[in-house]
Amino acid sequence: MKTDKVQSIIKKWNGDPNYAIEMLQDIQSEFRYIPKEVIEEISESTGIPRTQLYYLATFYKAFSLKPRGEHEIQVCTGTTCYVKGAFRILESLQRKCGLSDGETTDDLQYTLKYVRCLGCCSLAPVISLDDAIIGKAKSSTIEGLLARKVGEVDTK
């Protein structure tokens, strides 16, 4: 199954080595990470050296060689958010999900990431769940937030 999807992505870009980043973006989007066997497959199909593909996959922060959760939780740890309680939110998330920075739950539902700034300092402390920004976040709201479906998150 993976091979068919990978081959269709390679064909989408005509197997052109100049589109290595685009291929990796499509792979990341499809699988939520870039499996090592997929790097091998892209290399064999396009002639792009594996070392170059690994370089790209590790250089760009958008790519991951480890499986990511279906939902990504980002907690701002910038100065304003930290002062206003981001550390309590982190502790709550770590207790609830058993995760540290960059880790993913065993069921592949959530990945936790600490970020330096989400650009919403006036809403501190701020977290994001996928594309939803949650301002004035509290550790007491984490459990309810995780129980909801992403589409139901109230971003006000």
Q: What are the 10-residue block averages of pLDDT along the chain, 156 residues in total?
A: 86 95 95 94 96 94 88 91 91 83 87 89 91 86 63 42
Q: How far apart are CA 148 and CA 24, in angstroms?
A: 30
In a domain, 64, yes or no: no
Same domain, yes or no, for 95 and 142? Answer: yes
Residue 80 counted as domain residue:
yes
Residue 65 within any structural domain of the chain: no
The residue range of the domain holding 89 is 71-150
Does the residue 156 lie in any domain?
no
Angle at 25 between CA 20 and CA 31, to 5 degrees: 120
Contact 130, 72 (CB under 8 A): yes
The total of structural domains in the chain comes to 2
Per-residue pLDDT, 143: 67
Structure tokens at 27: 């792979």
Strands 127-129 and 71-76: antiparallel
Domain boundary among 34, 59, 84: 59
Closest CA to 68 of 35, 26, 36, 37: 35
Q: pLDDT at position 152, please?
A: 45
pLDDT of residue 54: 96
Q: What is the pLDDT of residue 147?
A: 67
pLDDT value, residue 40: 95
Rg (CA), the chain: 18
CA distance 10 to 26: 9
